[in-house]
Structure 1
Amino acid sequence: MAFADMVLPSNYGPNFKFNPDKPNFPVKGLRFVGMISMIDPPRASVPDAVSKCRSAGIRVIMVTGDHPVTALAIARKVGIISRNALCTYDFAFRDDISLSKVSEKDKSECTAAVVTGSDLRELSDIELEKILTTYPEIVFARTSPQQKLKIVEALQRLEKVVAVTGDGVNDSPALKKADIGIAMGITGTDVSKEAADMILLDDNFASIVTGIEEGRLIFDNLKKSIAYELTSNVPEIAPFLMLLMLNIPESLTVMAIIVIDVGTDLWPAISLAYEKPETDIMTRNPRNPKKDKLINRRLILVTYCQIGVIQAISSYVCFFLSMHIHGFKFSTLTGIRSDWENYNVNDLKDSYGQEWTFESREKLLRKGIASYFLSIVITQIADLLICKTRKLSLLEQGMSNHVLNAGLLFEIVLAVIVVYCPYINSVFQMEPVEAYVLVPALPFAFGIILYDECRKYLIRKYPGGFVYRHTYY
């Protein structure tokens, strides 16, 4: 900062109103008295944080009270404005630092803009919105608290989700108006902290980016857990629909559903919360808060109409195979529910003419229920593996989530105990089944994994394509 002085004439008295924006006092013929240089360098982690924001589709705009030259220099140093970007200020600096004096031809050549507080006062809301949409890189300098609020409101009118950081009293209106206000915990004033939604304890911009990454991870893992839990609903609901449509014996009991929901599925669903972030988590664009909910149409389409249907088919293949091996073909099972459940009928004939008592039928049905239950468990293991990622291949993600690995083991052990352990299986109305009855479930499980790997490959290969638009949940 250069310092100069001048002895002003008597007409510049104590009551004279000086105008620093449009000087109404002498600015030439001053006496140079000295110069002071000072620097408040940005933290070393800020440039990398800004770069991560860019790759994540997050736009960083600097709003400061500093001089435009200082603001532009810092913005270029940390990467808010690219070093090779042509800025409106490069032209405005030659013409009394007014954006309005830059020609339209020069503006069209620029990819970055520096807007001063004096410029903002002359801009209408529509003109400000045009600047915000025209230039991807923007710095606002010499701004007042009211102007910071005006910028936030303009961005919100453009349907942007706005986060504002600040530490002073003059930042509190913008902090309050923003979708999320972030105050500085060390240097921040009490007023700014009260107005903010979040307080940054270390006053480090890089911590915000870390928080964004953590937030995306939490959102991802919640989606994965919900997708895993919803899928098993289809094979659980299907037996009751089949009872109504085909009038066949009950293929899944309420006790078996309880074992699935609060037993075999519980630990694996929780374990997805411990899944590490996918490598592309900070290269995706921000989600649309109006359309990208935790549960959306695409999530329902994948869980209920695709993976869930495959699981239901697999379970019924195992159920009907178990019944067929013991004499009841599919054609015989349809329409015999009333006779099957009637304890007075002790001569019900199977497909080969053999008569079955009520007790023998009940024991056979428990085998079929166990087959149906174990098929759900096998296909749910495959479902758990595909739910580890939303976009990347399972091979890229790996199996480093030890909580999930333990959950897989727990799911298998619990299923074996419920079906094959004496006395316990009678409580859950099941009987041990032969291993070969479950063999058909294995191709379905591998098919689920293969199908989902192909789906994710198409999502990566053709972003925005048909598969992406209809299945990327």
Structure 2
Amino acid sequence: MGSDPAPGTPAVREHHVSPADPGRAAVGRPRTPGPVAAVPCLPAADVFAALAGGPHGLTPAEAAARQARYGANDLPAAVRGGLGRRLLAQFTDLFAVVLLVASAITFLAYLLGRPRDAATLELAVAILGVVLLNAGIGFAQEYSAERTAESLQAMVPHTCRVLRGGEPGELPARDLVPGDVVVLEAGDAVPADCRLVRAQEVAVNNAALTGESDAVARVADPVPAGAVLDARNCVFMGTDVVAGTAEAVVFATGTATEFGRIFRLTAAAPRQQTPLQRQVAAMARRVAGAALATGAVVFALRVPSGQPFVDTFVFALGVMVALVPEGLPATLSVSLAIGVRRMARRHALVKRLLAVEALGSTSVVCTDKTGTLTQAEMTVVRLWANGVPHPVTGVGYAPQGEVADAAPVRELLRAAALCGNARLVPPDGRDAWRVLGDTTEGALVVAARKAGLDPAAEEARTPRVAEYPFDSVRKLMSTVHRAADGTYVAYVKGAPLELLARCTAVGRDGAPVALTDAARTEVAAAADGMAGQGLRVLAVAARRVAGPRPPIGDVESELTLLGLAGMYDPPRPEVRDAVDACRRAGIRIVMVTGDHPLTAEAVARRVGIVRGPDPTVVTGGRLDALDDGGLDALLAGSAELLLCRVSPEHKMRVVTAFQRRGEVVAVTGDGANDAPALKHADIGVAMGASGTDVAREAAVMVLLDDSFASIATAVGLGRSVYRNIRKFLIYLFSHNIAELVPILAATLAGFPLVPITAVQVLAIDLGSDVLPALALGAEPAEPDVMDSPPRPRRERLFSAAVVGRILFLGGIQALGVCAVFFWHIHASGIPYADFTKDTPAYREAITLVQAGIVVSQFFNALAVRTDRQSVFRAGLLSNPWLLAAGGFGIALMAAVSYAPPLQAVFNTAPLTAADWAVLTGFGALLLAAEECRKRLLRRHPAAAKEGNR
């Protein structure tokens, strides 16, 4: 008598749900309720009754009524803001807000001024133009980096075969309703959560839900009560049928499915801010606060001097504009976009710009196993027969390689290939060699091909007449075949201990001999030796039988053991070097997988994640028993940690626990079950080739080659991006000091005009500085980028070393431009009070200030390219884009100085050759001072290390 079931899930026997059920449109619909959880326990006839259906399916009228009641069998599309909303979001950046306010106030000052000053209006329009330019660049970069595929819907098959009114037909999967009878066969994707009512040798791949890559058998018989996901007579949306045929009754659709549960979990997971987002936000608050405070102080100091109120206000606004790095948002966006393109060339597609830098902060990688560390292709690597091991070469499904001394194991491989349903598919121009069916059986087929056998020809000569499918109780699979002489032979494969217990003989030199206790011990030792190497071991046996369909007890008794096959999913060859690189970089790697602990540990050892004798191996059941404190202690105390048999909830909990400890967490995954953790992590990394669309949607980075090695490469690029960001921050903020100090000096000296106008500041920030800053953002990665530990999560972008360097370089520039300004003002011999905006000496002086900043920034760009290495050793010509950008800035300054139209806009005057020589000398002095500082750092390694932070 509980609450109504969720939409898409009928009640057992009571088949009514109000059309007004408020959960229908909600992402957070509840899970399958208790009554439907009983469906796996019922006989097939009662299943139809419980779901108010029948073996011939629903009538069209009933199906339409249920469609109206439960809704479509699909998942809500990913919610994305419209283009207009996403563009407006670009104006919420604090720098943009400050500039918009400044523009509005400046325009108000123009309206209130008497007479109105056209220069004030030009300033208001210029500031507004800066905001629009930054917003346009940011929007364009974000839009080009994001992918807008509706991934979750793509996971659901578009059509399926259904019985409606007793008639078979095909209809869109979204039209399925609870009670429908669907027909499934090998190769089909399961369209909804279903209870099997007829099953013939059915096996499914549940990797998208559970993370386990092995095919699992399914039956139509009732099973004991338990979790629906564990029911062996149920199949679930988003999984694949790899063998057999079946009829099944739909009991859950849409977000009421197990797949929908993961969708709800993913939707509820918050998207984490990257470290750079937090640091840039904090920096913006501090800079904006400092700009407003400084402008207010300057305004308060100049008002008592008798200057007109509006002029004083505009003067204070100029101070504020001088402190705000107008070009920073655009420079940051484009620099990150350069990182995105570099990563794409290295098979890592980044969907969010800020994720580029966050990769460089990664301190923990929680990695999946199958497909990321391994090739997701089971491979037989060792056979055992006649008491002798036979190594097998070659990797993957391509039948390339050989079996050592193949003659003694041909009968073993012939039997193993015939006792299975997998089929090897050759390349078709788009796909490489692949297997249809169970991957373990596919590996045996490939091994048979390597031994010179043709499984298809063997099947034709010895056709199958009966099959006894694998189940978890017997742990065996058997097939019966008709031999060429008209007799019948049975082939059996399965778990070594189970099969060995049913054997009475063992093959020796092509003939059966009695299986003595000593021989049993030898076989068991061989199987244990393979398992100890991390191999999955299968035993294969045969016997003659009396007829085409003997009782299963006769088939699977008094067998002759043919031998053993050991196989594994081979690691990707490049992964070990990538793991070593991560270790050098101080990045901890934790394997998080749905596979068996022994399998996980074997793979972890092969790729170098585990090197010690006693790694900590924890299953999902143990995680459930730990409270948050216990989990924190586990993560802190285990250097080599493997988490196995975990659920999506477990993965999210582990990620959250690492983040509580201050770690920056990257999570890899390929299945739908990985999606919640991918979204919740600081960096979600999905597989591009083998991964599911839901995983790719939840992640911020997609590995186009599915390789863990690409993660290590991306981390190195991310670290390089962060270093480059610091370089152009030093470059940009140092000249802000050179713009501010002359204004403050003029105020304190009682000079009535500004040494540099707000329009000139904007021209420097956007015209002369953006391109060199972008060129600094494109600096290649330094060789030692992966030889230091990740920076702390709470490390400030403006560390003491960075601020010190800004003050050092900015102070030298400020002294130079103050010197040329006041030298020129004093050389004119005109009293301060007589200066106006049109005084030639004043126009020449402010031109010298603007040109001085531009020239010194050219040398400054060369200086900040390296942290402690001499720029001459790095090579002055090694970044030609920087030289070109600096040359463009100087050329633009020359145009401002000499072109009459620009002179009218900026109130500038022509400079002499002597003026340029003096300014160049000040710039060279800055570079020399920075080279001296770096030399001191190289002599003191401890100081150098701190200076790199």
When normalised by structure 2's length, the TM-score is 0.38
Counterpart residue number, 1:130: 633
Shift of 1:167: 2.0
Deviation track 1:48-80 (CA, whole Å, cap 9, x = no partner) reads 221222222221111234444433332222221
Q: Which amino acid aligns with 1:49?
A: A
Structure 1 residue 313: deviation in Å? 0.7
Distance 1:172 1:427, change over 3 A: closer
CA contact (8 A) 1:87 1:114 kept: no
Letter of the structure 1 residue corresponding to residue 893 of structure 2: A
Residue 367 of structure 1 aligns with which residue?
Answer: 844
Give 1:3's aligned residue: 496
Mapped pair 1:339 → 2:834: yes
How far apart are the structure 2 equivalents of 1:177 and 1:248? 56
CA distance in 1, matches of 2:730, 2:671: 44
The answer for the alignment partner of 1:24 in structure 2 is none
In the alignment, the residues of structure 2 paired with residue 432 and residue 196 of structure 1 have an alpha-carbon distance, to the nearest angstrom, of: 55
Query: Do the aligned partners of 1:164 and 1:174 also contact (CA within 8 Å) in 2?
Result: yes
Q: Counterpart of 2:848 in structure 1: which amino acid?
A: S
Report the equivalent of 1:43.
572
Ranges of 4+ aligned residues in structure 1 off by more than 6 Å: none
What SS does the aligned partner of 2:684 have?
A: strand
Q: Which amino acid letter does the alignment assign opposite residue 847 of structure 2?
A: A
- Give the whole-Å Cα distance in 2 for the aligned partners of 1:169 and 1:237: 54
Q: Does 1:60 align with 2:589?
A: yes
Is the CA contact (8 Å cut-off) linking 1:129 and 1:154 kept in structure 2?
yes
Whether contact under 8 Å (1:115, 1:141) holds in the other structure is yes
CA distance in 1, matches of 2:596, 2:568: 13
Spell out, residue by residue over 1:445-464, the C-alpha distance to the aligned partner (whole angstroms, 9 max, x if none).
33432443454456666666
Distance 2:896 2:606 in 1: 64
Q: Structure 2: which amino acid aligns with 1:185? A: G
Amino acid paired to 1:292: R
How far apart are 1:314 and its partner, in Å?
0.6
Query: Could you tell me how far 1:256 is from its partner in structure 2?
Result: 3.6
Contact 1:393 1:456 (C-alpha < 8 Å) held by counterparts: yes
CA RMSD of aligned residues (A): 3.4
In structure 1, the partner of 2:756 is 252
Contact 2:652-2:676 within 8 A present in 1 as well: yes
- Measured against aligned partners, the alpha-carbon deviations of 1:200-221 in whole angstroms (never above 9, x if no partner) come to 3321112222322333333333
Kindly indicate whether the alpha-carbon contact (under 8 Å) linking 1:87 and 1:113 is maintained by their aligned counterparts in 2.
no
Higher strand share: 2
d(CA) in 1 for partners of 2:739, 2:660: 46
Q: Pick from 187, 190, 194: which aligns with 2:690?
A: 187
**Residues 191 and 263 (structure 1), Cα distance of their counterparts in 2 relative to 1, 3 Å cut:** closer
Q: What is the deviation of 1:309?
A: 1.8
Shift of 1:186: 2.7
Aligned to 2:155: none
Aligned 1:155-194 pairs, distance under 5 A: 155-194=658-697
Question: Any conservation in 1 of the 2:738–2:853 contact (CA below 8 Å)?
Answer: yes
Higher helix proportion (structure 1 or 2): 1
Whether 1:449 aligns to 2:934 is no
Match of 1:204 in 2: 707
* Partner residue of 2:890 out of 409, 412, 428: 412
The residue type equivalent to 2:778 in the other structure is Y
Out of 258, 268, 277, the residue aligned to residue 781 of structure 2 is 277
Among 733, 741, 750, the alignment partner of 1:238 is 741
Q: Is the 8 A contact 1:458 1:468 kept in 2?
A: no
Partner in structure 2 of residue 92 of structure 1: none
2-structure distance, mates of 1:339, 1:48: 72
How many angstroms apart in 2 are the aligned matches of 1:450 and 1:368?
A: 26
Q: Deviation per CA, 1:253-287, whole angstroms, max 9, x where unpaired? A: 44543442333223222322322222222223323
Aligned to 2:814, which of 298, 308, 312? 312
Tell me, which stretches of 5 or more residues in structure 1 are unaligned? 8-30, 89-111, 343-358
Q: From 559, 578, 599, give the equivalent of 1:70.
A: 599
Residues 173-229 of structure 1 deviation map (CA, whole Å, 9 limit, x = unaligned): 433443332222332234434443433332111222232233333333333233322
Q: Return the offset for 1:317.
A: 1.8
Number of residue pairs matched by the alignment = 395
Distance 1:457 1:132, change over 3 A: farther
The answer to whether the 8 Å contact 1:49/1:209 transfers is yes
- SS of residue matched to 2:746: helix
| Structure 1 residues 42 and 393: CA distance shift in structure 2, 3 A | farther
Match for residue 106 of structure 1?
none
| Same amino acid, percent of matched pairs | 38
Counterpart Cα distance in 2 of 1:67 and 1:279: 39
Q: How far apart are the structure 2 equivalents of 1:219 and 1:431?
A: 40
Deviation at 1:245, TM superposition (A): 1.0
Corresponding residue for residue 769 of structure 2? 265
1:202 is paired with a residue whose SS is coil
Contact 2:775 2:885 in 1 (8 A): yes
**Which residue is 1:140 aligned to?**
643
User: Does the CA contact (< 8 Å) of 1:318 and 1:438 recur in 2?
Assistant: no
Match of 1:431 among 909, 919, 933: 909
Q: 1 CA distance for matches of 2:684 and 2:828? A: 69
Q: Say if 2:742 and 2:817, in contact at 8 Å, map to a contact too.
A: no
- Name the CA distance, whole Å, in 1 between partners of 2:713 and 2:624: 36
Which residue does 1:80 correspond to in 2?
A: 609
Query: How far 1:164 sits from its partner (Å)?
Result: 1.4
Amino acid at match of 1:77: R
Partner of 2:794: 290
Q: Is the 8 A contact 1:216 1:281 kept in 2?
A: yes
Structure 1 partner of 2:866: 389
Q: State the 1:153 CA deviation.
A: 3.3
3-state DSSP of counterpart to 1:400: coil
- Over 3 Å counting, the alpha-carbon distance change for 1:138 and 1:392 in structure 2 is farther
- Cα offset for 1:406? 0.8
Partner of 2:185: none
- SS of the aligned residue for 1:36 comes to strand
Q: Secondary structure at the match of 1:277?
A: coil
Task: For residue 155 of structure 1, report the CA deviation from its aligned partner.
Answer: 1.8
SS at match of 2:664: coil
1:139 is matched by which residue type in structure 2? L
Q: Which runs of 5+ in 2 are unaligned?
A: 1-493, 503-558
Work out whether residues 4 and 32 of structure 1, in 8 Å CA contact, stay in contact via their aligned partners in 2. no
Q: Would you say the 8 A contact 1:265–1:411 is kept in 2?
A: yes
Equivalent residues of 1:65, 1:143 under 8 A apart: yes
Q: Give the letter aligned to residue 224 of structure 1.
A: K
User: Quick check: which has more Rg, 1 or 2?
Assistant: 2
Matched, 1:227 2:722: no
Q: Secondary structure at the match of 2:658?
A: helix
TM-score normalised over the length of structure 1: 0.71
- Structure 2 residue 853 is matched with structure 1 residue 376: yes
